[in-house]
Chains A and B, each alone.
Chain A
Amino acid sequence: MEALGLLLHGFEVLLTFKILSLMMVGLVLGIFVGVLPGLGGPNGVAILLPLTFTMDPTSAIVMLSCIYWGALFGGAITSILFNIPGEAWSVATTFDGYPMAQQGKAAEALTAAFTSSFIGSLVAVLLITFLAPGIASFALRFGPPEFFAVYFLTFCSFVGLGREEKHKTIISMSLGLLLTAIGMDTVSGQLRMTFGSDNLLRGINFLVAVIGLFGISEILLTMEERLALRGHAAAISLRVVFKVWRELPRYWATLLRSSAIGCWLGITPGGAIAASFMGYNVAKRFSKDKESFGKGRIEGVFAPETAAHASGTAALLPMLALGIPGSGTAAILLGGLMVWGLNPGPLLFVEHKDFVWGLIASMYLGNVVGLVMVLSTVPLFAAVLRVPFAAIAPMIVVSCAVGAYAIQNAMFDVWLMLVFGVVGYVFKKIAIPLAPFTLALVLGNRAEDSFRLSMIGAAGDLRVFWSNSLVGSIATLALVLLFWPLLSAAIERLRGALVKA
């Protein structure tokens, strides 16, 4: 039980006044960000990242991850009270949450949402605590070919398993990878694709792109849709909380199933959005009383919320153990690690024990504190939605600009952010997925470096990716996932032929 000792050490790191207060600030900001339509987990984290540049890495990651937990909690508030999902992953929560609010059971629905979010994250954090160190120490044996194979696997699984049109996923991914290659080539020191511009010399910063892609473009989209807010009031009393908690054990199977779905989709790049829908549908399929779903059934709130949070949390597992983010937000946190001077990957567990275990401990603590906080402050945050959007929109724009500028103290980056904002808006409208773009932007340089180092090591022989059983099986799995749609169609056809014969 080495993990337990290290975890306790992590709690020691956390229990200082400074970190605890940063945690509270992070949670409040996060819930705020989650409640506001037009801002979300990745946006909030991206915009608030510059605040952390001068902090030490542990305080910074604790605050940022608390923003993330807060955003996950906050998304449920608007779904239930206003029928407006604050986040894409809380869309499924509106199916039963809003009907419950209409029937005057808003407090029950909110308690159910927060509690199941908490349970989902807890399961995922337990998974991280006991699995991540093992995976990381296994990955310490990786050389450049293995790392390239893992990156390749990540990209292939996006193309093969994503629900978007394949060519759009490929566009988004290759554009992201291409943009990271702009500037100085890290292996040879040669300049490429700068076209003589001094500003492009530095390359395109990942965070600048993300702030534009998520922050600015969301403002544009929200303005376009012009949301009218009409909601239900709610205050949660202790009596209601205990009433819901007493019912919890009855739904253990749903909670467990949703947690498992969430963890799986979080680790593989399926994401919280897919997880919440899948959690909801699976709960419905297993239920004896399918008709009552969508009409205000509490199980319909438990299922998607548990899955969304389990997935949102589990997405941090591959980030910590392998340096590969499982979600957009995890990708931004990873970008943060690099800004603070940490090298993401398995070595983190060896070289920065305080940081890693502080972060894991903060997942436990942040979720407990977050649960208590949202349960007690719902009316306050529901009131936030009555602040006119015309006041909030320009403030978000300014925060984005501050964030973009602060990263490298460059005005050029603010312009770049604006361009990415428009690109993000157009991409979202024509269904080019942004998640592969983000992932490519953050992994691009390391993917290329590991490829070239493997090539240098193997004197240009591509067979290095099948040179031993480990790298060979990862590379093969990557190809299988890439061609999965074709393979599964072929298997179907084969099975059909066999049945006929």
Chain B
Amino acid sequence: MADPAEEPRAVASTRAVDIVVSLLLAAFAALMAYDNWKSGAGWASDGPKSGYFPFYLSLLLGGASLFGLARAVAGRARAGSPFVNRDQLRRVMQVLVPTFLFCLFTQWLGLYVASFLLIAGFMRWVGAIAWWKSLLTSFLFAAIMFATFDVAFDVIMPKGPLEALLGF
């Protein structure tokens, strides 16, 4: 689950990211191969066991990632080009961090309150849009979402204390 872009590291080259991703994929492949080996990667009397198909896939994935790793280390794949610069990374984090908080808050406050907070906060602090516009837009958006999903289409979203207070 760890990913290079999730850590607030400074400028990275495409080559470095290539190497890290290849290593992560190879490790993932090894883990999967181990698990499938355990659950049986061979043949039973009637055909392949349940680990057979994924076991060979993890070998394929591992092989391809190691090949990618070798190429990246040898530096043949666009060695110098930057992956992100500091400004770009800052802007990416401006969305990624609020999105993460939004997911976290959804668990306690319910989706509608969390989305109200996300949209209002994002418009105000990232977009520097006037308070009243931000609050109004986000309130309308959350209300329309509620009307569309929970009321009109019967798609039930996670709810929190506010909705309980209002009797939903």
Contact = CB atoms under 8 A, between A and B. Distances in A.
Contact of B127 (A185, A391, A411): A391
Q: Classify chain A: how many residues form its interface, as a range.
A: 35 or more
Nearest to A418: B103
B153 A54 contact: yes
A456 B14 contact: no
Given A178-B54, A394-B119, A405-B111, 17 more contacts: A50-B149, A51-B153, A171-B61, A171-B65, A175-B25, A181-B54, A192-B51, A226-B91, A388-B129, A393-B95, A402-B145, A402-B155, A419-B1, A421-B99, A430-B18, A432-B21, A456-B46
Contact of A456 (B6, B47, B67, B106): B47
Contacts of B163: none
Nearest to A419: B1
Contacts of B148: 51
B96 A220 contact: yes
A224 interface: yes
25 contacts: A51-B153, A54-B155, A165-B77, A168-B64, A170-B61, A171-B25, A171-B65, A174-B60, A177-B57, A219-B95, A220-B96, A224-B88, A389-B127, A394-B115, A394-B118, A397-B95, A401-B106, A411-B158, A414-B103, A418-B100, A419-B3, A429-B84, A430-B18, A451-B48, A459-B47
A224 B51 contact: no
A191 to B, nearest CB: 8
Contacts of A220: 92, 95-96
A181 B51 CA distance: 9
Interface of A (DSSP majority class): helix
Given A395-B119, A456-B47, A223 B57 contact: no
B164 to A, nearest CB: 17
A224 B100 contact: no
Contact of B91 (A224, A419, A452): A224
A21 to B, nearest CB: 14
A171 B95 CA distance: 28
Interface in B146-168: 148-149, 153-158
Nearest to B60: A174
Interface string A434-454: 000000000000001001100
A432 B129 CA distance: 36
